[in-house]
């Protein structure tokens, strides 16, 4: 009986040491940045108008009046994410989608590009987005 118990104990020890192949599989850059980021600042400018909110969310009289979220989701390509910016301005929800955003690691940060143009960076838990066009600019920061 003691021998049987010893054999069971030894066989259990070896089976407990088996490595899980999924646990050691490295993530691609898209998997490293994927997640939900809450907006911490927002700026939208045109030549005729400007909306600058330096600190988000904005809470007035106990009610959140301005807030936003950025969702980065992995695609089938480990080097791409889809980005959705969702804004809630005083009860009106708006969203802006960016598909197939390329993610490249550069040192300790990640650069996010769309059609070859860098649009954002992720450094640690902070996402910084800034796109300027001829007549408009959209910029925001968000944290995970």
Q: What is the per-residue pLDDT across 43-69, written as a single tens digit (0 to 9) for each?
A: 999 989 999 999 999 999 999 999 999
Is residue 11 a part of any domain in this protein?
A: no
Residue 48 lies in a domain: yes
Residues 6+ apart with CB under 8 A from 37: 69, 70, 71, 72, 125, 127, 142, 143, 144
Task: Judge whether 60 lies within some domain.
Answer: yes
Q: Is residue 61 part of a domain?
A: yes
What is the percent of the chain where pLDDT is above 70? Answer: 82
Whether residue 87 is contained in a domain is answered as yes
36 or 16: which leads in pLDDT: 36
Determine, yes or no, domain membership for 132: yes
What's the average model confidence in pLDDT over 73-79? Answer: 95
Total domains present in the chain: 1
Q: How many CB atoms lie within 10 A of CB 112?
A: 24
Q: Is residue 89 part of a domain?
A: yes
Q: How far apart are CA 144 and CA 141, in angstroms?
A: 10
pTM comes to: 0.79
Which residues form the domain of 125?
Answer: 25-143
**104-132: per-residue pLDDT in tens?**
999 999 999 999 999 999 999 999 999 99
Length of the chain: 144
Q: Answer whether residue 50 is part of any domain.
A: yes
What b/e string do you get for 6-17 counting C-beta neighbours within 10 Å, with b at 16 or more? eeeeeeeeeeee
Could you tell me the pLDDT band of residue 19, with boundaries at 50, 70 and 90?
low
Pairwise CA distance, residues 72 & 81, whole Å: 6
Mean pLDDT in residue range 8-15: 46
66: domain CATH number is 2.40.128
């Amino acid at each position: 009986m003691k021998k049987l118990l010893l054999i069971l104990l030894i066989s259990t020890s070896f089976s407990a040491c088996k490595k899980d192949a999924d646990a050691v599989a490295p993530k691609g850059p898209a998997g490293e940045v994927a997640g939900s980021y809450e907006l911490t600042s927002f700026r939208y400018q045109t030549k005729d108008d400007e909306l600058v909110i330096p600190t988000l969310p904005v809470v007035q009289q106990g009610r959140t009046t301005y807030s936003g979220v950025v969702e980065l989701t992995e695609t089938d390509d480990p080097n791409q994410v889809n980005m959705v910016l969702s804004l809630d301005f005083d009860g009106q929800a708006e969203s802006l989608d960016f598909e197939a955003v390329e993610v490249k690691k550069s040192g300790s940060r990640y650069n996010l590009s769309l059609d070859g143009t860098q649009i954002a960076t992720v450094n640690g838990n902070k996402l910084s987005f800034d796109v300027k066009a001829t007549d408009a600019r959209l910029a925001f920061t968000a944290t995970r």
